[in-house]
Structure 1
């Protein structure tokens, strides 16, 4: 008997905007995208990056989150 489960989010390409908001908040706070996307309630990195590539609004929001994370890290290292 095969008890294997299908891949998480298999075939799922769309997630509600609130999920992307949560991901961006977590990235901005310094969390790693790999860790965030390892959470079963989050889209895979492949799905996330596909959406970032295809959607300019999400791309801009993600870029801002990454910028915020970098600025926070830089501020910590210069203190």
Structure 2
């Protein structure tokens, strides 16, 4: 992925990178230079964004209790 530097020295971080790092408006980022001269972009707070599974947790709402599931399985409902 590439991006263009503006006359003010600003760049737009590509959406896939923002999504990967969990970066949104107001997020702080760090730039670190490595020994080989490349630069690494990371979140300044070092927290990992929630995985896609963690984001879905709790979305199903209230479920059936065991007795209701057994009644459905047996055809009692």
Instruction: Provide TM-score, normalisation by structure 1.
Output: 0.26
Q: Which has the larger radius of gyration?
A: 2
Q: Give the number of the structure whose residues are more often strand, by fraction.
A: 2
- Structure number with greater CO (CA < 8 Å, separation at least 6) is 1
Q: Give the number of the structure whose residues are more often helix, by fraction.
A: 1
